[in-house]
Amino acid sequence: MANYNTYLIDKKGNPVFQGNKPDLSKGDLYISVSQILSMLGSGDFLIQWALREFGGLADSTGAYRSYMDRVSDLGSKLHKYIEFDLKGLEFPEAEMTETMVPGIQSWHDFKEKHEIKLIDSERVLHSKRYRFAGQLDLRVEIDGVTYVADLKTGSVMGKAFIQLAAYKHMLKEMGLSDGTEKLLVLGGADSKSKIADGGAVQMHTLETFFKGDVTEEDMFVKLMCLRELWYQENLRSRKFEPIIKGMSDYMEPMIQSFRDSFKQTLKKSNKGRKKNVIN
């Protein structure tokens, strides 16, 4: 059950969906991975783009919101179509729109070039250890390689791999995986070649996207850092209070270790300064 970007998970590890007010007697509240990633923000580039596109209009805010709603609706429908297609199901004709056609054609072009087998999709995952949860997009086998994957019909951003690292950890912690999957984002080549606009579907891995020595461990460390920032930002938040209480057992010792490490670094730095003054 999503509420303030949270999930209510019952004692058996199943999500509880019951509207907007969670009954904490039926389970524990977990922060969503997307909420943790919100600590990254949208970036100045998005603000600059919005100003260029809508800044000169009389109702720039309304125009921007209307555009984002259309993009979000199209992305959701394409996600649903591709999930139905992977499961061998017929997509409801009443939900088909003309705007979906370019994205659907891109998907079928990609399918013709690869052997694809769906393993799992849209599963709610959680980590008891780290008290976060999220909904897996795809676990899929492509050309004999198994991936924890995310489908991006819009722009592909690096934080998608942080999200995938979280999903992979949760799959393994829940005993649903042996942890050998690779991380994959299925998306357009760049912001000017989105799947939703008919851009070719590309397979973005850590190696191809970052073009450097970036590992899954790096992504998970970033997730842990963002989680700590979220924890600090929401210590006094009433709406997140049940999660904060559940996180404090492991967060406080971690934060204290960071503080101790920082103090040691300062001591070493001060000693170095004193030596330079003496010399």
Tokens of 188: 């357009």
Could you tell me the residue ranges of all domains in the chain? 71-274
H or E stretch at 206: helix 206-210
Mean per-residue pLDDT of the chain: 83
184 and 137 in contact (C-beta within 8 Å)?
Answer: no
User: Which residue did the predictor score with more confidence, 174 or 70?
Assistant: 174
Look at residue 53 in the predicted model and tell me its pLDDT.
62
- Closest C-alpha among 10, 60, 37 to residue 219: 37
pLDDT at 232 over 50: yes
H or E stretch at 169: helix 159-173
Burial 157-191 (b: 16+ CB within 10 A, else e): bebbbbbbbbbbbbbebeeebeeebbbbbbbbeee
User: Which residue did the predictor score with more confidence, 47 or 233?
Assistant: 233
Kindly indicate the confidence band of residue 28, based on its pLDDT and cuts at 50, 70 and 90: confident
Percentage of the chain modeled with pLDDT above 90: 47
- Closest C-alpha among 69, 45, 65 to residue 54: 65
Entry pTM? 0.79
CATH number of 71-274: 3.90.320
Can you tell me which residue has the tokens 């003496």?
Answer: 278
Kindly indicate the confidence band of residue 3, based on its pLDDT and cuts at 50, 70 and 90: very low
How is residue 239 annotated by DSSP? T
The string of DSSP codes covering 14-61 is -B---SSS--GGG-EEEEEHHHHHGGG---HHHHHHHHHHHTTSTTHH
Look at residue 114 in the predicted model and tell me its pLDDT.
97
